């Protein structure tokens, strides 16, 4: 065997091993970034929904404003299908000194997974956040 027969083999082996090791690592980083963006989105959405609700003039207006705040916060991070739940400590909801808890849930899809495969196996990571807002103690009772 001549010495030139093996020339370049180490480079090919190195590139092959690097690709085999780096592709999963890059996918993991992309997935973690997507989950972090979802977590950041639901945290901001829950906080802003509570603020929007407790500063509204009525419960109906507050619910609409909270839903709009959630939509904006999720869209800001590239998501569009979160859910909002509101829970009040008093009835009516905007009783001075009462609290309003907002819970936002989002299913973060795994990147680069085809939608046909998602219909068979749930390939989403659920994230949620809760924030409690306090209605102004010195305000008036609002329906």
Across all residues in the chain, what is the average pLDDT? 90
- pLDDT for 117: 84
Q: Taken in order 60, 65, 66, 71, is the CA torsion positive or negative?
A: positive
List the beta bridge partners of residue 132: 101
Cβ 142 vs Cβ 57: under 8 Å: yes
Please state the pTM of the whole predicted model: 0.82
Give the Cα separation of 85 and 36 in Å (integer): 22
Cβ-Cβ contacts under 8 Å for 94 (sequence gap 6 or more): 54, 56, 58, 59, 62, 100, 135, 139, 141, 142, 143
Q: What pLDDT digit, counting tens, does each position of 37-52 carry?
A: 999 999 999 999 999 9
* 49-76 residue pLDDT tens: 999 999 999 999 999 999 999 999 999 9
Give the residue from 54, 44, 35 showing the smallest Cα distance to 74: 44
């Amino acid at each position: 065997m001549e010495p030139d027969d093996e020339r370049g083999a180490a480079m090919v082996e190195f590139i092959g091993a690097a690709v085999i090791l780096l592709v999963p690592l890059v996918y993991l980083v992309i997935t973690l970034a997507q989950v972090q963006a979802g977590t950041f989105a639901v945290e901001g959405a829950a906080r802003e929904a509570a603020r929007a609700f407790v500063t509204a003039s009525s419960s109906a207006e507050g619910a609409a404003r909270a839903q709009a705040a959630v939509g904006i916060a999720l869209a800001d991070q590239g998501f569009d299908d979160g859910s909002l739940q509101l829970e009040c400590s008093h009835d009516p909801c905007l009783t001075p000194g009462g609290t309003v808890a907002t819970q936002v849930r989002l299913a973060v899809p795994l990147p680069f997974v085809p939608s046909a495969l998602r219909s068979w196996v749930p390939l989403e990571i659920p994230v949620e956040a809760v924030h409690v807002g306090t209605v102004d103690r010195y305000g008036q009772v609002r329906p």
